[in-house]
């Protein structure tokens, strides 16, 4: 990971967010947010808890995480659904209505 940070020229960022209400808060750049992430993340932290706690401090990275963490890593779920559909609607059961087939697919899950 250190090689990656060095290649990207990323150094641990200091938080520009302060509790002083008179000072304007400068939003962090993506590079600064990534540096902040690298300095605050711990392996033992729960994924969802970490991003819920850091969503205001790391808004750019949080939006990426929300967008891409919901994408399944494999196609197993869709392949399984098509396999079940092929079994339920086979030649011997070709008289099933679309509604009945939908209910059978729902019950099969």
What's the Cα-to-Cα distance from 47 to each of 15, 21, 32, 40, rounded to whole Å?
Answer: 21, 31, 20, 13
Burial class (CB within 10 angstroms; exposed 0-12, middle 13-18, buried 19+) of 58: buried
Q: What is the pLDDT of residue 42?
A: 76
> Residue 22 above 70 pLDDT?
no
Q: What is the pLDDT of residue 18?
A: 47
Computed over its alpha carbons, how large is the radius of gyration of the chain?
24
pLDDT tens digits for 55-94? 888 899 999 888 888 776 677 777 777 777 776 666 566 6
CB-based contact 10:34 (threshold 8 Å): yes
Residue-averaged pLDDT of the chain: 74
13-21 mean pLDDT: 50
Domain ranges of the chain: 2-68, 76-108
């Amino acid at each position: 990971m250190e090689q990656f940070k060095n290649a990207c020229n990323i150094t641990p960022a200091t938080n520009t967010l302060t509790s002083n209400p008179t000072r304007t808060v400068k939003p962090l750049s993506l590079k600064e947010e990534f540096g902040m992430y690298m300095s605050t993340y711990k392996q033992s932290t729960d994924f969802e808890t970490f991003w819920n706690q850091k969503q205001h401090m790391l808004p750019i990275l949080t939006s990426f995480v929300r967008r891409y963490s919901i994408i399944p890593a494999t196609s197993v779920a869709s392949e399984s659904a098509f396999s079940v559909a092929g079994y339920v609607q086979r030649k011997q059961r070709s008289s099933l209505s679309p509604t009945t087939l939908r209910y059978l697919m729902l019950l099969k899950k």
